[in-house]
Amino acid sequence: MMLDLVQVQGFVAVAEELHFGRAARRLNLTPSPLSRQVQALEHALGTPLLDRSSRSVRLTPAGQAFLGEARRLLDGARNAERVARQVARGEAGPVRLGYTAASALGVLPRLVAAIRSEMPGIDLVLEEMVTAEQVEALAARRLDLGLLRPLAPDLAPEVEGVRIAFACLARERLLLALPDDHPLCRRGHVSLRELDGQPFITWSPRGGTYFLGLLANIFRSAGVAPRAVQRVNQTHTMLALVREGIGLALVPESARALRTEGVVLLPLRPETDQRAELLLGWREGDNHPALARLRDLALTQQVLSDQQT
């Protein structure tokens, strides 16, 4: 019913040596069981593979054709074994990584580059999702890792009994984005007080829940209340609207990577301790073989990231 690879291996050895004795020695066997192996294989295939007289062994046409298939088969078996071992050791295999649109500006490209160079066997599958989607996808095992923002503190990091663990990868200041011809632009920094009543572009609830909270904290602690004039989903849209003079915005420092012409990013005065955190998330207790190494790699990346910002 199913080919026996031991028999196939025996046949290949005999076909290569054209001599049962030598082939048997190569396989640490006596000629007797080897002969029976080949016979059993021939019986299973319903056709002779070897033409043997007591003085010579030759391949039949069927044997010649089968030899090629057999070698491929044995190579395939060895390869399958290797693949399983490598994936188990975390040296290879697919890893599904979720990321938020904003993380694509700073951390993601560096992380991907580091993985490609340090763990070349890993086959990264990237999927852009907002934080909530990532948490759900992690729990449902549709993702192995996520680059995401902190959940609201009242949301338990647990979905259907699966706990999600987090580690902080980067803490970014928020910068004020304003058109380069804006009056506040003269000095190199802007006081929070001056933002009161200013038109502001903020985040839409979809995707920007975390930033909405962050902005609210900053404004509340400074006692100012800008006017929200527009809600958007993505940082680059936000900067584009700023450039058009629609309003001001607070964006994470990694937005510098967008290098938007006509928009200036200034630090706030006084400094606030509010930081936009970017987290790495994974299933707690996940036995994904590459996970530990990937996490170490990501944390190394975090240091680099801090040095560069």
Q: Which of 76, 80, 97 is nearest to 290 (CA)?
A: 97
Span from 25-33, 65-73, 209-217, 226-234 in contact with DNA (CB under 7 A): 25-33
Span from 22-30, 66-74, 197-205, 247-255 in contact with DNA (CB under 7 A): 22-30
Kind of pairing between the strands at 145-148 and 93-99: parallel
What does the alpha-carbon distance between residue 262 and residue 264 come to, in Å, rounded to a whole number?
Answer: 7
Q: Which of 301, 280, 308 is nearest to 118 (CA)?
A: 301
In the chain, the largest separation of any two C-alpha atoms, in whole Å, equals 102
Question: Out of DNA, a copy of itself, none, which partner does residue 30 contact, by CB within 5 to 8 A per kind?
Answer: DNA
**No. of H helices and E strands in the chain?**
9, 15
In the bound state with a copy of itself, the residue whose beta carbon lies nearer, of 139 and 176, is 139
Question: Out of DNA, a copy of itself, none, which partner does residue 76 contact, by CB within 5 to 8 A per kind?
Answer: a copy of itself
- Residue 211 near residue 203 (C-beta atoms within 8 A): yes
Tokens of 247: 């309003």
Smallest gap, in angstroms, from Cβ of residue 78 to a copy of itself? 8
Other CB atoms closer than 10 Å to residue 103's CB: what's the count? 23
Which residues, 26 to 65, sit near DNA by CB under 7 A? 28-33, 35-40, 50, 52-57
Smallest gap, in angstroms, from Cβ of residue 146 to a copy of itself? 17
Smallest gap, in angstroms, from Cβ of residue 21 to DNA? 4
Question: Out of a copy of itself, DNA, none, which partner does residue 35 contact, by CB within 5 to 8 A per kind?
Answer: DNA
The reply on whether position 235 binds DNA by CB under 7 A is: no
Smallest gap, in angstroms, from Cβ of residue 37 to DNA? 6
Contacts of 135 (CB under 8 A, 6+ apart): 146, 148, 151, 157, 159, 164, 281
Residues near a copy of itself (CB under 8 A) are 2-6, 8-9, 44-49, 51, 60-66, 69-70, 72-74, 76-77, 79-81, 83-85, 87-88, 92-94, 287-290
Smallest gap, in angstroms, from Cβ of residue 63 to DNA? 12
Tokens of 182: 């804006």
Q: Which of 222, 281, 300 is nearest to 99 (CA)?
A: 281
Smallest gap, in angstroms, from Cβ of residue 20 to a copy of itself? 19
Helices 205-222 & 131-139, crossing angle to 10 degrees? 120
* Chosen residue from 11, 20, 203, 210 binding DNA by CB under 7 A: 20
What is the contact surface with DNA in residues (CB under 7 A)? 4, 6, 19-21, 28-33, 35-40, 50, 52-57
